Structure 1
């Protein structure tokens, strides 16, 4: 019984990472996107042509961004740099974007 408990406790951090994390998604948005986009619930984008993240769901379903984020967004607005997220990062960012739809 002790051994089973020890194994379960050892695997607990892996289970916590199993699904998308809105906290990790917010961290990605702040580190990667906030230079140009307003990434929170309020505020204006530092770059005028960069839409605030809270408005993205009005343009298209944010779930549709997952493939583009993983394959590499070449251009979203004229001055947007090309970047690529790994699939987990893309899902975390999508999870965060969905929190801004409320």
Structure 2
């Protein structure tokens, strides 16, 4: 019993030691994702939580959840996004860039619950 009493605070301290680095990594992904969509996508799409898309036909990224499950975009980002119109170039991103873009897209969705991973069985 005594070892359990000592183990719980030690485990809590270990989690606290790891948590800041995980938080920093998440923030780094968000920042990198924001930079990537700003560089490659902002010419046509609104890539922030507000503002209009420069191209009226290009949906704002904050509303992508109305068209897609955000997690489902990862494969297209890695293998090359193709659309039904020729004006959009094809993009292929590295796995770490895809992770950063998906994290950023999730962070700006107008309905955060829509940005959550899909439940199994759907």
Normalising by the residue count of structure 1, what TM-score does the alignment of the two structures yield?
0.76
Q: 1:76 to 1:69 in 2, by over 3 A?
A: farther
C-alpha distance in 2 between matches for 1:44 and 1:89: 25
The runs of 5 or more residues in structure 1 that have no matched partner are 1-12
1:74 aligns to what? 82
Normalising by the residue count of structure 2, what TM-score does the alignment of the two structures yield?
0.65
Please list every run of at least 4 consecutive aligned residues from structure 1 whose deviation after the TM superposition is greater than 2 angstroms. 16-20
RMSD of Structure 2 on Structure 1 (CA): 2.2
C-alpha distance in 2 between matches for 1:64 and 1:95: 12
Q: 1:76 to 1:57 in 2, by over 3 A?
A: farther
2:63 aligns to what? 55
Q: What's the offset of the Cα at 1:20?
A: 7.2
Of 2, 15, 33 in structure 2, the residue corresponding to residue 25 of structure 1 is 33
> Structure 2 matches for 1:1-102, cutoff 5 A?
21-75=29-83, 77-101=85-109, 102=112
Q: 1:76 to 1:87 in 2, by over 3 A?
A: farther
Instruction: Say if 1:35 and 1:46, in contact at 8 Å, map to a contact too.
Output: yes
Structure having greater relative contact order (Cα 8 Å, sep ≥ 6): 1
In our comparison, the structure showing a higher alpha carbon Rg is 2
